[in-house]
Amino acid sequence: MLNYLVPVFVSSFKLISLLLIFPILAGYPMHFLSLKLNSISMKSFNRSFIFSVLKWPGTIVHELSHAFAGLLSLRQIKEVVLCDHDPPLEDGGYKLGYVRFKFNPVNTFQEVGCLLIGASPILAGAFLFKLLFEKYFNTSIAPDLSLFTCTFEFSIQFFQQSMGALGQACMNGMLLLINPRNFTNPYFYIFIVCTFLLSISVDLSKADINILKIGIKPTIFIIVATNLFIHWFYPLGEVLVHKTWFFFFTFYFQLIFAAIVMAIIGGTMIMFLQILPFGK
């Protein structure tokens, strides 16, 4: 029995790491930086018209991502507000919009869907940033997977190769970003503005984080229960880990790289805006 349970829980832990632990670790910098940029923008421009102009495009992305994730989770949408005329102060910034759903707490599928709903602004922000970056620079955001000589295993060698691939990919991306030729291309400034608008709106509110937390326990339970039931006939957990970890690794890199670029562009844009006449 022990020989059966140990590999089951090991493969379950790997899956939980891929699906929950790693994405939370990779996505947190994006959330944190967006939260800080949003707070600084609010302090710089207060509840002025210019702050609403800066915040509103990202608010649309933020709230529509919740709505789309809710539909995928089979939730009924009760209300969608994309421009609140009297926005409440929340988490250091003003909440310009919101989405309300009907939620059945005994529906396990809807509970698991809370993960997607809560994290959807970060997922949408990373996806749109990827489109912007790849469209402008005409290249793919992806680490060099040829640097890996080992399969997905929790080992020092794998960690070293992962950090090497991440570092090399980030360096390549930053070299493209700081190329002096960019400053003579008008599309580069469109890329800068769009990235900044995303950077101040992809943070998760307290409500988003609370919704996300609801989906963690049922997701862990389903992963472990499925492995316990199927592993006797087929090692599904291990197969999924080895078949999908390259995809997830690439996605986590995109989250980290998006956070780095958003931090640079966001900080630069805020300093620029503060010296203009409408700065506080």
99 - beta bridge partners?
Answer: 80
pTM of the model: 0.85
Give pLDDT, residue 115: 92
Q: How far apart are CA 153 and CA 163, in angstroms?
A: 14
Q: Classify residue 7 by burial, with Cβ atoms within 10 Å: 0-12, 13-18, 19+.
A: middle
Give pLDDT, residue 92: 46
For the ranges 53-62, 153-162, 270-279, the one whose mean pLDDT is highest: 53-62
Q: How far apart are CA 166 and CA 252, in angstroms?
A: 10
Task: Concatenate the DSSP letters of all residues of 185-208 into one string.
Answer: -HHHHHHHHHHHHHHTT-PPPHHH
pLDDT tens-digit series, residues 61-78: 888 999 999 999 888 888
Strand stretches in the chain, DSSP E: 76-81, 89-90, 93-94, 98-102
pLDDT tens-digit series, residues 155-182: 777 778 888 888 888 888 888 888 888 8
Task: With a cut of 90, say whether residue 128 has pLDDT above it.
Answer: yes
Q: How does residue 150 score in pLDDT terms, banded at 50, 70 and 90?
A: low
Q: Could you give phi then psi for residue 87, rounded to 5 degrees?
A: -70, 140
**Diameter of the chain measured on Cα atoms:** 72
Which residues are CB-contacts of 173 (< 8 A; sequence separation ≥ 6)? 133, 141, 257, 261
Q: How far apart are CA 210 and CA 214, in angstroms?
A: 7
Nearest to 122 by CA among 241, 240, 217, 211: 211
User: What is the token pair recorded at 211?
Assistant: 């919704």
